[in-house]
Structure 1
């Protein structure tokens, strides 16, 4: 169960880690506006806009990965396949974020599909 929980923790923390490049991009346009960060984020282009999208998508990934992991834990179906799927999900999500920053759109989409497939497989194997 430890691997599953570590993977869950990694995915929950990922949006916060993905915020660092976003904060840097925000700082580049007249300093970080902590009073109105969303207004400032709406003005971002290029790298900054991609960093914002990666940050937001990291939150979205929690919505389909966390229930999958929690379902596996709840029905006591933790085995090497479940752990491998969870680890691959974390790895592909990490590569996804970096691909977003670097503007590798096709590679990013490939990582997204692999990660989503892993989350889906975690649930499907319980049926």
Structure 2
């Protein structure tokens, strides 16, 4: 399995790190209505919930981009570098979101989109 494919697995699991942060501490977690519980969180826990949502949203395009890059004959080293960069960017994005740094977070988000686009066209 390639590094790019491993990065797809990491990207699939990364939202759950932020889910854990959103649910940890604070008010007691309510498994009967978890979405309502998460929406009522405040501070960094609320932002952790938003990071998890955004991470789930970013995943399909990234996963498709890695697969398409492989299938279209993109250079494996380039695919691996872009995939690892995407993971690193998403981790930084989450940290910036948790620390409430909106402007910098938006720039980092764009870098993640750039990696996804670069993956899509890497086999061209």
- Mind listing any 5+ residue stretches in structure 1 that lack a counterpart? none
- Mind listing any 5+ residue stretches in structure 2 that lack a counterpart? none
In the alignment, the residues of structure 1 paired with residue 40 and residue 16 of structure 2 have an alpha-carbon distance, to the nearest angstrom, of 20
Residue number in structure 1 paired with 2:45: 48
What is the alpha-carbon root mean square deviation over aligned residues? 1.4
Deviating above 4 A after TM superposition, structure 1's stretches of 4 or more consecutive aligned residues are none
The CA deviation string for residues 50-97 of structure 1, in whole angstroms up to 9 with x for no partner, is 011001111011121010001012223242222111111110001101
From 64, 67, 75, the counterpart of 1:67: 64
Is 1:18 the counterpart of 2:34 in the alignment? no
Residue number in structure 1 paired with 2:108: 111
TM-score, structure 2 normalization: 0.91
TM-score, structure 1 normalization: 0.89
In the alignment, the residues of structure 2 paired with residue 97 and residue 12 of structure 1 have an alpha-carbon distance, to the nearest angstrom, of 14
Using the TM superposition, name which of 92-101 and 40-49 deviates more: 40-49
Map 1:114-125 → 2, pairs under 5 A: 114-125=111-122
Residue number in structure 1 paired with 2:5: 5
**How far is the alpha carbon of 1:124 from its aligned partner?**
2.2
DSSP-derived class of the 1:58 partner: helix
Count residues with an aligned counterpart. 124
